[in-house]
A and B are shown apart, each in its own frame.
Chain A
């Protein structure tokens, strides 16, 4: 599974970062991004699903294979 943060949608709620700090980073302006290429280790998959489901801007998305 791979995910990304849509920069145009992200408004800096930081819900993804709070749920999976191993996978998401936030900058000084609150914008989130994925660390690396967004590949989700199996151990983080469940929490990453929550990050997708909790983003108020629908900015965290799974990248289709």
Chain B
């Protein structure tokens, strides 16, 4: 049902009805914001990158293949937007940005760890993971993205994706252990 909403909106975009982008924004802007925030650590920048994704969706909607899953296409654009940002980012990072607080978690919804401290530790460990591995784990945690989708997104085989996810998780586990109080 949820995916059907995306398919309908994607088809509308492909048919030249740009107003469908608001439906997609409503459904996915939080997901993208969280993705970007965990990649960049900057709230305002993450909002801008999220907005830029939807503006590109609006601009290139006619190229979306109706009937195809929407999310892999959206994340393809999101990765492009992030790469463009990295390519243009100034090497100097303001001190204020470095001191920005990490994203706030909502511990009550955490079922696996059931503790605010552990969720914060996991966020901190994730933030220390190298960018490429962090991006991979963030993409792999999305239930709507299959290993096949990830392989197509990242340009490698499904087998390679599985091994890369495994290695990234191992490294995350090490970092998580180092975050212990």
A and B associate: no
